[in-house]
Amino acid sequence: MATDNAPAAPACPAGQGAARKLRQWLLVACAAVAGLGAAAEAWAQADVPSLFTNRGTVGNTRHNLTQRQSGGGGPEGTFMDRTRNDYNEVCVYCHTPHGSNRTTAAPLWNRTMAPTAYQTYDLLGSPSITQPISPPGAASLTCLSCHDGQTAVDSIINMPGAGRYNPAQETAQNNAFLDSWTNPRGPATTSHGRIGQECSICHAPSGGAIGATDFSAFVIGTDLRNDHPVGIRFPADAGAGSDFKDPPRKEARLAYFDTNGNARADAGEIRLYNSGEGYEVECASCHDPHGVPSAGPGSVFLPTFLRVSNAGSAVCQSCHTK
Ligand code: HEC
Ligand code: HEC
Ligand code: HEC
Ligand code: HEC
Ligand code: HEC
C-alpha cells in the first residue's frame, strides 16, 4: 500500500492493465445479465434516464461521483466501485480546503492537471475566425481534467481523512497513491476510470446491456477542433455596431453579462476570463459545473450545466449579435 507523501511511483499507464481487468470482470457481469433471459433483453434495448433530480445542489447532478444513496441519484455501487474511488464526499473530486493544486489558477483545485497538448480550433483553418486563439485557460483546463479522457476522474491530490495528501499528484496521476484508498461500501479498486476510456466500457451506445447510460456525447477529448473555440479572445471593440455584445462589468480577471445588475458574477451569467491575454471564452463561460436553477431556488437545473437557458439560442446571443 502506498504511504502518504510517497514519492511518485514510476508512471503507470492508467489504461491497459486496468482496462483489461475491468473487461474480464465485465464479461462475467454480462454473462450474468444474459442469464436473466427475456427480461434482460427488454432492459438491454432501453437507454437509462438520469436518476439524479438535478435540483438544489451539485450533489444531485452527474457531477456527484460518490455512490448512489437510497432515494437519490449517483453511480450504482456494484458496478462503479470497480471503476473509481468512492471518496464519499461530493466536492472532493474537484476541490479541497487544504493542499490544493498550485499549478492551476482554479478555486482550491484538488485535481491532477496533467500537462496535455490540445488541438485548438485555429488548426481547423476556418476563414471567418478573426480573433487570436491560445491554449485553453484554467477555466477550461478544470473541465478538461476529466472530459479530455486523459486523467482518471478520481485522480486527486488530497483524499479525505488526515495524512492522505500527495503533492506529486498535482501534475501526474499516481495509481499507487490512488490504490491506497478503500471504498467505504464496496470493494477497493485499482481501475481508475477515465471518461471515454474505461468509463465507456459500459457508458457506450451498447451500454444498455448492463443498464448504463450512454455518455459518448460527454467525451470532449483532446481534439478541440469540433468544439466552440475556447482560449479565444473576445473582441475589444464589442458593442454597438459590432457583431458582439459588450459585457457591462469588467474586472481584472473576469468580465460578465451582469443581467441582474448586482455587480457580482452570478452563476447564471455568461462570463469571460482574463488569464493575462485579455478576456477569453472558456468552458466555464457558458457552463457552471455545479448547476444553475432554471427558475429560482428549488427548481430543476438548466440542462447540461448551462449558465443560461439556451431556449431561443440565448446562450449564443449573450455574446453574438446575430
Ligand atoms: C462496469 C460498468 C460501468 C463502468 C465501467 C462505469 N459505470 Fe457508471 N454506471 C454503471 C451503471 C450500471 C449505472 C446505473 C445506470 C445509469 O444511471 O446509467 C451507472 C451510473 C453512473 C452515473 C449516474 C448516471 C445517472 O445520471 O443516473 C454516473 C455519473 C456514472 N455512472 C459515471 C461513471 C464514471 C465517471 C465511470 C468511470 C470512472 C463509470 N461510470 C464507469 C455502470 C458502469
Ligand atoms: C465536477 C467538479 C466540481 C465539483 C464536484 C464541485 N465543483 Fe466547485 N467548482 C468547479 C469548477 C470547475 C469551478 C471554477 C468555475 C470557474 O471557472 O468559474 C468551481 C468553483 C467553485 C467555487 C468558486 C466560484 C463559484 O462558482 O462560486 C466554489 C465556492 C465552489 N466551487 C464550491 C464547491 C462546493 C462547496 C462543492 C461541493 C458541494 C463543489 N464546488 C463541487 C468544479 C466543481
Ligand atoms: C471530476 C471530473 C469532472 C470534472 C472536473 C468535470 N466534469 Fe463534467 N462530467 C463528469 C462526469 C463523470 C459526467 C457524467 C458523464 C460522463 O461520465 O462522461 C459529467 C457530465 C457533464 C455534462 C453532462 C451533464 C448532463 O447531465 O447532461 C456536462 C455538460 C459537463 N459534465 C460539463 C462540464 C464542465 C463544463 C466542466 C468544467 C466547468 C466539467 N464538466 C468538469 C466529470 C467531470
Ligand atoms: C460558447 C458556449 C460554450 C462553451 C465555450 C462550451 N460549451 Fe459545452 N455546451 C454548450 C451548449 C449550449 C451545450 C448544449 C448543447 C445541447 O444541448 O446539445 C453544451 C453541451 C456540453 C456537453 C454535453 C454534451 C453535448 O454535446 O450536449 C458537455 C460535456 C460540454 N458542453 C462540455 C464542455 C467543455 C468541456 C467545454 C470546454 C472545452 C465547453 N463545453 C465549452 C455551450 C458551450
Ligand atoms: C462568451 C461569449 C460567447 C458565447 C456565449 C458564444 N460565442 Fe461563439 N464566439 C465567440 C467569440 C469571441 C468567437 C470568435 C469570433 C471571431 O474570431 O471572429 C466566436 C465564434 C463563433 C463562431 C465562428 C466560428 C468560425 O469558424 O468562424 C460561431 C459559428 C459561433 N461562435 C457560434 C456560437 C454559438 C452557436 C453559440 C451558442 C451555443 C456561441 N457561439 C456562444 C464568443 C461567444
What are the structural domain ranges in the chain? 16-121+152-219
CA of 243 to the centre of ligand 3 (A): 31
CA of 134 to the centre of ligand 4 (A): 19
How high is the pLDDT of residue 212? 87
Contacts with 93 (C-beta within 8 Å, 6 or more apart), sequence order: 63, 65, 87, 110, 111, 153, 154, 156
CA of 50 to the centre of ligand 2 (A): 21
Q: In this structure, what C-alpha cell is assigned to residue 244? A: 458582439
pTM, two decimal places: 0.93
Nearest CA to ligand 5 atom 21: 228
- Crossing angle for the helix pair 38-45 and 16-34, nearest 10 degrees? 130
How high is the pLDDT of residue 49? 82
Q: In this structure, what C-alpha cell is assigned to residue 316? A: 449564443
Report the atom number in ligand 1 closest to the C-alpha of 74.
Answer: 23
Name the one residue in this structure whose C-alpha cell is 447564471: 268
What is the SS3 assignment for 231? coil
Nearest CA to ligand 1 atom 28: 75
- CB atoms near residue 236 (< 10 Å): 12
208 near 46, Cβ under 8 Å?
yes
pLDDT (tens place) for every residue of the chain, 322 residues total:
222 322 222 233 344 555 666 666 665 555 544 444 444 444 444 567 888 999 999 999 999 999 876 666 667 777 888 899 999 999 999 999 999 999 999 999 999 999 999 999 999 999 999 999 999 999 999 999 999 999 999 999 999 998 899 999 999 999 999 999 999 988 899 999 999 999 999 898 887 777 888 999 999 999 999 999 999 999 999 999 999 999 999 999 999 999 999 999 999 999 999 999 999 999 999 999 999 999 999 999 999 999 999 999 999 999 999 9
Report the atom number in ligand 3 closest to the C-alpha of 306.
Answer: 29
Q: Does residue 286 have its Cβ closer than 6 Å to ligand 4?
A: yes
Q: Does residue 219 have its Cβ closer than 6 Å to ligand 1?
A: no
Q: Does residue 116 have its Cβ closer than 6 Å to ligand 4?
A: no
Q: Does residue 52 have its Cβ closer than 6 Å to ligand 1?
A: yes
Dihedral sign (CA 13, 168, 196, 144): negative
